[in-house]
Amino acid sequence: MDIATDTPATATKRVQIAFLNWGHAIDHFVLGIYPTIVIGLEVIYHRPYSELIALATAMFIAFGVFSLPAGWLADRWSRRNMMVAFFIGCGLSLAAAAFAPNMPVMAAALFALGVFAAIYHPVGMAMLIEISQAKGRVLAFNGVCGNFGVALAAGITGILASWFGWRAAFLVPAVICVATGFAYRAIVADDRHTIAQRKKTAAVPLTPRAAIAMFLFFVVISVSSGLVFNTVLVALPKLVDEQLGDTANLTIVGGLATAVFLCGALAQVAVGRLVERFSAPMLFAVVVTIQFAGVLLASHATGAMLLVSLAIAMAAIYGQVTVGDIVVARFTADAWRGRIYSVRYFLNFTSSAGAVGLIAFLHDRGGFALVLAVIAVCAGIMLAGVYGFAGLAFAVENRQRTAVQPAE
């Protein structure tokens, strides 16, 4: 659309989408701070990595569990006001982490961060799909913004910690989050009056039997993808650190981790284009197949080949998130889409919380070779679930197309 012909309504939508894209970057950025900082805390607190990384468990549990009430409140109260709480709440939690005098207070601050960070996905994705009408390239760019948040978290956190101390790595993004929250509240109008106008019919209606089957596949996919996604996300900085040995500092580790994460951005741009041309369920299956191949290769690789295989896996991990959101949107109505996404992300991120404990447990017993081998199994389970989901979705869409064809 030509900017010169934009109506006020279109301009307003673009501003809302810009905030949602920025919010997605912030959401993943703030969750990636501690997994990088923890490498430096090993020296400060004289505790092993496995013990320090476990402090993030409460954060990731909250990130999953609190997505349920966040989606419910957004659908019943106000999606816009929930996003205000997301920005400001994340900022205040980061500030608490920056000034934490000891590890118990740090754990409490990380838990609070998980509570507020949980708001974005069920609420922000429901808003984005409603505003954009589920356009693939819009959702893909939003996914790229989230990927940049993950990618830049490692690099920027490493730089801030190296130059200004680890507390600055929390405090700088805290100020940015709070400022964004106040700007969002001032610019974006309240939406409580629009709740009754939301559509109550999905783009692709399901029979009760098909809905139950899809839900079961949905559970398997969400749980297994959460384990794969978060294990790679949390473990990557330390994995790179181990590959480089004692010669690299935190800035180099963060920079290489950032390069791997950025591969996901390129994949999401491509997926956003492809999903507008091909069947979303079938594309979902293809991308997850590549994810499985990347993780499997990583579990047997070392050195440069390990980084290459992780880059392939990371590209597919973020690509499948974009396609998965579009597939879910096609089978759910806008009126309760926030609640549906809250269930999706509850399952996804609650299982993600287990990834932190899983890393600590497996790393002590077999290093990252064992961690990656177990994640390859999880990726295989997810692949089976996606094949089943895609096959059922394709059959449902086929029946709908046949039903609406005019009689000859």
The model's pLDDT over 30-64, given as tens digits with 9 standing for 90+, comes to 988 988 887 777 777 777 777 777 787 788 888 87
- Decide: 140 and 268 in contact? Cβ < 8 Å: yes
Tracing tokens 């106000």 back to the chain, one arrives at: 78
Please give the structure tokens belonging to residue 15. 């501003």
Please give the Cα distance from 317 to 225 (Å, whole number): 8
Instruction: Give the count of beta carbons closer than 10 Å to the beta carbon of residue 346.
Output: 24
User: Could you please report the per-residue DSSP string of 228-249?
Assistant: HHHHHHHHHHHHHHHHHGGG--
Q: How much of the chain is in helix, strand and coil states, percent to nearest 5?
A: 85, 0, 15
Q: How many whole angstroms separate alpha carbon 62 and alpha carbon 254?
A: 25
Instruction: Tell me which of 128 and 318 has the higher pLDDT.
Output: 128
| Cα–Cα distance measured from residue 13 to residue 300, given in angstroms and rounded to the nearest whole number | 47
Tens digit of pLDDT for each residue in 293-320?
A: 988 888 887 777 877 888 888 888 878 8
Closest CA to 106 of 162, 44, 154, 13: 44
Tens digits of residue pLDDT in 132-156: 776 677 887 887 788 778 778 878 8
Whether the model pTM is above 0.85: no
